[in-house]
Structure 1
Amino acid sequence: MSVPRFIDGASLPATTPPPLTGPWSPTDTRIDQAVLVPLPAGHAPEDVAVDPDGAVFTGTHEGVVWRLRGDAFEALADTGGRPLGIEHDPRDGSLIICDAYRGLLRLTPDGELHELTREAAGTAILFCNNAAIARDGTVYFSDSSSRFPLSHWRRDLLEHRPNGRVLAYDPASGTTSLVAAGLYFPNGVALTPDESALLVCETVAHRLTRIALPSGAATVLADLPAYPDNMSSAGDGTFWIALASPRVAIAERLLPHPGIRRVVATLPTWMQPQPGKHTIAAQVDADGTVLRTVHSPAGRYPMLTGVRQAGDTLWFGSLTERSIARVPLN
């Protein structure tokens, strides 16, 4: 698929980023003291997953899936694409991998890589991003944009249209179905404990949305002060959201001006609105209520895009760094 040269920006009212106050106050800054665990090679470990034995998994820009066991990394596979979201499937110990270019993959414990799906509802999956696995093995996952692949994700944010969808892969039939469409860059995906709904992070609209199953009806739960990325279940009915940057004021002031944004999208990346260095991990309940936030105001682990709780430890991934990171919760 060729990438559209120009964006078709929507004209929307300007918004003002809310202050980081109340539960969003940066009083807990422990991410600035995170322990960094450097990768043996490559960069941008976008997400992290942890198995019951404590092994940590991530995937890099170069396509390599790594496992950290103890203090040692091991390369498990090369997807030939760009692994983003990674989920450990407790049913068989395999990994479900959202590859931005190859679609939904499964990496089995014997090292075999299987392509599960590359299209849904007659349309190619252009931007496979993050997933959640139901108890029956159904994989719910986000296809963030129907217009722009990962290599041009900034254009989708500047276009500011509902180009994304959430899909469901059924391992029993091998089919992929549409759960919900018309979403603003759907990214992180998690299942509620009773599996009656999905929680979905819409990055472009900086909000948390509930999608009822199987109807696909969407309800906005929260307007967030930062751009959410991946999310994961904490295993106790709560969820962690990785927020890569506070909302960018200039980007929100440009919302009523699609013509200007059209020009901005053609500029070199360094001339476009830039994310802030302050990153946040937020714990929320199934209603979107914020329970706890941890911060990196100094930006010592920037572009935080993945978060996973394993016992009393939070593990992080980043879209730009050469390490994964961890902090103690207590």
Structure 2
Amino acid sequence: MLDTLRGFTDRLLGRGSAAITVPVMDGVLKPNRALDNAEVVAELADIDDLAVADGVLWIAAGPALYRLDGGVPVEVRRFERPITALAAAPGGRLALALGGTQLLLLAPDGATAHTLAEAGGRALRCVNALAWDEAGRRWLLTEGSAEHAPERWCHDLMAHGASGRVCAWAPGGGAVQQLAAGLRHAFGVLPQAGGTVLVGESWAHRVLALGPNGTAPRVADLPGYPSRMAPAAGGGFWLSCFVCRTQLVEFVLREEAYRRRMVAEIDPRYWIAPALSSGHSFLEPLQGAGVKQMGVLKPWAPPRSYGLVVRVNAQGQVVSSLHSQVDGRHHGITAVAEHGGALFAASKGGGRLLRVRMTAEEQGAAR
């Protein structure tokens, strides 16, 4: 009863759950050019995910699987469908999701060792992240939606999707275990010590910690929609935010009638919604400072697309961030991974594999 009353007053007064405010990018989130100035390792259309094991960096781009060899991506194998998630384990084992609906486990020789097409009696629909849990000897996976494929993530956002889940799979050891369900687009998973599992909940703008004693937010109220994570040297983790929030999109998400008509009548490319890349058509929606003045797009304009990576320490505090601002090219960061003393980032919006040199502090212990 109290929750119902609180929800009504929030909607009436525009506060709480009905507020359209977004966190300000300041302090450790202050915009910079770290991603814009990053080294471009390779141009890879549809680059999506990264994985590291045994000193090897693996790259998924569309239906192709690459390995970084001598600083250059070398194609290892090509599949019939796009790779929507990728993970690596010691000993040369790989796990990948094809089209979001099928998991393949590859042996070191490249042979398919195991496959998975359903979990908990439900067919896989939107597998978007994978990770190897060494302590539990199992593969972890997130599924963003029970209704929408990975490439239709924006449809799930506009529908207020809350059918995401995270599962654990020990091949040959029995049924798949569902660790959490009813998540608002689960995207990104990272095992921690003590059996805790971190999960990105995109539409809730937070990272959850699923532990033996329950579930609690590890990072909350982010300025972007979180996605995949990677361990950071010295503790903590790197978190990619594949798109950012704006007040206009927050407003549209609360206008039911308008949003339904927009989804039904407008080409998805021109929705008032975040995107992995922008600036391709004059038909794209603009907000205020997003209008070019004398041919210049202000870097602080409200972002339709943006590049953002944050570093979180072991206590769950954001301690630094890397940006590609509104007028930059390296937007839509969907994955990050440390390798060879540098941070690699997959810019799906820009179709590029990036390499960012880490400072001595970043390579040392997390604060």
Helix, strand or coil: the match of 1:23? helix
CA distance in 2, matches of 1:180, 1:119: 16
| Alignment correspondent of 2:322 | 294
Helix, strand or coil: the match of 1:146? coil
- What is the percentage of aligned positions where both structures have the same residue? 27
Residues 227-246 of structure 1 mapped to structure 2, 5 A cutoff: 227-246=225-244
CA distance in 1, matches of 2:318, 2:270: 34
Return the match for 1:32 from 16, 31, 36: 36
CA distance in 2, matches of 1:156, 1:115: 30
CA distance in 1, matches of 2:323, 2:103: 31
Contact 1:188/1:232 (8 A) holds in 2:
no
Helix, strand or coil: the match of 1:48? strand
The question of 1:309 aligning with 2:308 is answered: no
Moved more, 143-152 or 280-289: 280-289
The question of 1:218 aligning with 2:220 is answered: no
| Residue deviations 1:289-312 (CA, integer Å, cap 9, x gap) | 112111122422111111111242
One-letter amino acid of the structure 1 residue matched with residue 130 of structure 2: A
| 1:258 positional shift | 2.1
The question of 1:118 aligning with 2:150 is answered: no
Helix, strand or coil: the match of 2:46? coil
Count of paired positions = 311
Which protein is richer in helix relative to its size?
2
Q: 1:322 to 1:277 in 2, by over 3 A?
A: same
| 1:324 positional shift | 0.9
One-letter amino acid of the structure 2 residue matched with residue 23 of structure 1: V
Helix, strand or coil: the match of 2:20? coil
Helix, strand or coil: the match of 2:100? coil
| Alignment correspondent of 1:48 | 50
| Alignment correspondent of 1:280 | 308
| Alignment correspondent of 1:249 | 247
| Alignment correspondent of 1:103 | 102
| 1:119 positional shift | 0.8
| 1:235 positional shift | 4.8
| 1:99 positional shift | 3.0
Report the RMSD for the aligned CA atoms in angstroms: 2.0
The question of 1:17 aligning with 2:22 is answered: yes
Contact 2:245/2:274 (8 A) holds in 1:
no
Contact 1:47/1:318 (8 A) holds in 2:
no
One-letter amino acid of the structure 2 residue matched with residue 56 of structure 1: L
Q: 1:171 to 1:237 in 2, by over 3 A?
A: farther
| Residue deviations 1:43-86 (CA, integer Å, cap 9, x gap) | 12111123333x3211122x111112114432222232221332
Alignment TM-score, normalising by the size of structure 2? 0.79
| Residue deviations 1:208-236 (CA, integer Å, cap 9, x gap) | 111114x6x32123110111111111253
| Alignment correspondent of 2:284 | none
Helix, strand or coil: the match of 2:154? helix
| Alignment correspondent of 1:8 | none
Residues 140-155 of structure 1 mapped to structure 2, 5 A cutoff: 140-155=140-155
CA distance in 2, matches of 1:285, 1:160: 30
| Alignment correspondent of 1:322 | 351
CA distance in 2, matches of 1:244, 1:118: 26
Where structure 1 has 5 or more consecutive residues not aligned to the other structure, the ranges are 1-10
CA distance in 2, matches of 1:197, 1:253: 35
| Alignment correspondent of 1:5 | none
One-letter amino acid of the structure 2 residue matched with residue 77 of structure 1: R
Q: 1:189 to 1:21 in 2, by over 3 A?
A: same
Residues 78-97 of structure 1 mapped to structure 2, 5 A cutoff: 78-90=78-90, 92-97=91-96
Q: 1:274 to 1:256 in 2, by over 3 A?
A: closer
Helix, strand or coil: the match of 2:261? helix
| Residue deviations 1:164-212 (CA, integer Å, cap 9, x gap) | 00011012415312110010111011111x1421111111121111111
CA distance in 2, matches of 1:13, 1:19: 18
Helix, strand or coil: the match of 2:355? strand
| Alignment correspondent of 1:258 | 256
CA distance in 1, matches of 2:113, 2:19: 44
CA distance in 2, matches of 1:233, 1:67: 19
